[in-house]
Amino acid sequence: MPLVTTEEILRKANDEGYAVGAFNVENMEMVRAVIKACEEMNAPGILQTTPSTVKYADLDMYVAMVSAEAKKADVPIALHLDHGSSFELAMQALRSGYTSIMIDGSKLEIDENIKLSKSVADACRPSRIPVEAELGKVGGKEDDMSCDDPGYTEVDDAVRFVKETGVSSLAVAIGTAHGIYKGVPKLDVDRLSEIKKVVSIPLVLHGASGVPDDAVRECIKRGISKVNFATELRIAFSDGLKEYLQENPDTFDPKKYCTAGSSKVTELVKAKIRVCGSENKA
Ligand code: 13P
């Protein structure tokens, strides 16, 4: 089917108490692997790309690949710009055909973050493309983005932020971090419950790679509707390739080792769909 927006799939998740996995993809093999997993699980899916990913190929390339695969699939698929780093990049993604946009002003002071997020939400509204914003700072490092100075989302700030920006979903900082964790992350789930009580739009959990499954489930129980997984997919794809090349050192056919990487991604994404509770929710 044609790409859908995250508005449709996240509203349903929010209403029914499960979450939709949002999976970062880097190449054609990962795109196909994620959509295959969604189809096998009869689950909705969000494929997303960071600014460094759209520098690696470009926005049009990801729109073409994801639309082509989504068209053949029977489950709803959205294409999301993850961590949109500027108004200009958000508008380029909108014009290219992304069906969901994140603007990440979380490093700015709240007034500036509101101004930037509102400007993107206003610009996307006529096209009915939903906008995710972030309040508080998710720590860690992913691609070339890093945050050494994480900060939790304040409940009162979240109410003001949502009201003044008009965004469609909100990424909250409750103790997760992007990238690989050194220890077990300690999540402030009570803060999440407090935010959920006063914010009605879908809430997003970033930095879910390495968060134990039970902790992800607890966050969903307390109100998370979208869970972002990136690092674990990159590791799965790379591990599949490495294993294949180790066992078949003389191979020179990318189709062979890329297929090994894709299979690992599909298995991982299916497991994450189970954790999110979105199996059979297409
Ligand atoms: P991880 O790399 O920790 O899975 O984080 C993903 C993410 O939040 C993408 O925005």
Instruction: Answer whether 269 contacts ligand 1 (Cβ < 6 A).
Output: no
**Which of 133-147, 160-174, 187-201 has the least mean pLDDT?**
133-147
Q: Where are the beta strands (DSSP E) in 42-107?
A: 45-49, 77-84, 100-103
Q: Which CATH architecture has domain 6-233+266-276?
A: Alpha-Beta Barrel (3.20)
| CB 14, CB 248: distance < 8 Å | no
The share of the chain scoring above pLDDT 90, in percent, equals 90
Q: Is 129 exposed, middle or buried (0-12, 13-18, 19+ CB in 10 A)?
A: buried
Work out which ligand 1 atom sits closest to the CA atom of 177.
3
- Domain map (residue ranges) of the chain: 6-233+266-276
Instruction: Answer whether 132 contacts ligand 1 (Cβ < 6 A).
Output: no
| CB 80, CB 100: distance < 8 Å | yes
Average pLDDT over residues 205-230: 97
Does the structure show a pLDDT above 90 at 110? yes
| Per-residue confidence (pLDDT) for residue 138, from 0 to 100 | 82
HSE, side-chain direction, 13 A CA sphere, residue 265: 31
Please confirm, yes or no, whether 82 is among the known catalytic residues: yes
Work out which ligand 1 atom sits closest to the CA atom of 102.
10
| Per-residue confidence (pLDDT) for residue 197, from 0 to 100 | 97
Instruction: Answer whether 176 contacts ligand 1 (Cβ < 6 A).
Output: no
Query: What's the CA gap between 133 and 228, in Å, rounded?
Result: 14
What pLDDT band is residue 190 in, cutting at 50, 70 and 90?
very high
- How far apart are the CA of 248 and the centre of ligand 1, in A? 32
The share of the chain scoring above pLDDT 70, in percent, equals 99
| 49 beta partners | 81
SS3 of 120, please? helix
